[in-house]
């Protein structure tokens, strides 16, 4: 009887350990939510830049703040697990978001330079290849059945 109880306890411990191994893959639904959340956060950060800044300095401060937010969002998405077959898309999306953060921050720094003070005069908008890259990955995910919107133009 003692052996039977020991065997049952040992099998139970193995079963519990196997269940806690984390070997289950992330579902596509969870990944879709992670990507959609990241996309929404990046889009909100971009919208914040152009939401009626009071002047040049506030615009540049918003660019810096938005760059920091986008970088945090990329880090959060990077910390999530992608389902099997979607690691490449996740990596490219994170890379594009990180580059977008760098592009915003460096553009704000450039505009602050004395020789570039007039850079914003007459400007209707800024365009970054990293924004295009993020939207390319989001488009590929849409083609694969994910319900994720592209980043908006702000």
**Domain range summary for the chain, segments of one domain joined by +:** 27-143
Query: What does each C-alpha distance from 113 to 87, 101, 107 come to in angstroms?
Result: 39, 19, 10
Check pLDDT > 70 for residue 48: yes
CA 66/CA 137 separation, integer angstroms: 21
Rounded to whole angstroms, how far apart are CA atoms 97 and 75? 9
pTM of the predicted protein model: 0.80
Q: What's the whole-number mean pLDDT along residues 56-79?
A: 97
- Average pLDDT, integer, range 63-85: 97
Q: Which residue has the tokens 């969870």?
A: 30
Q: What's the whole-number mean pLDDT along residues 10-18?
A: 44
Structure-model confidence comparison of residues 19 and 154, the more confident one: 154
Q: Residue 26 has what pLDDT?
A: 86
pLDDT digits (tens, 9 = 90+) for 92-130: 999 999 999 999 999 999 999 987 766 666 555 678 999
Q: Where are the beta strands (DSSP E) in the chain?
A: none
Residues 6+ apart with CB under 8 A from 53: 59, 62
Could you give the count of Cα atoms lying within 13 Å of 50 in the half-sphere of its Cβ? 13
Is a pLDDT exceeding 50 seen at residue 45? yes
């Amino acid at each position: 009887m003692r052996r039977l109880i020991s065997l049952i306890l040992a099998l139970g411990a193995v079963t519990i350990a196997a269940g806690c191994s984390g070997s289950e893959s992330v579902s596509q639904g969870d990944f879709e939510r992670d990507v959609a959340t990241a996309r929404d956060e990046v889009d909100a950060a971009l919208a914040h830049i152009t939401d009626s800044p009071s002047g040049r300095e506030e615009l540049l401060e918003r660019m810096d703040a938005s760059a920091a937010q986008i970088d945090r969002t990329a880090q959060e998405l990077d910390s999530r697990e992608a389902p099997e077959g979607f690691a490449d898309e996740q990596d490219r999306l994170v890379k594009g978001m990180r580059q977008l953060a760098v592009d915003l921050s460096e553009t704000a720094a450039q505009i602050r330079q004395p020789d570039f003070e007039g850079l914003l005069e007459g400007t209707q908008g800024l365009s970054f290849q990293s924004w295009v890259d993020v939207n390319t990955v989001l488009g590929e995910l849409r083609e694969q059945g994910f319900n994720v919107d592209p980043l908006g133009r702000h």
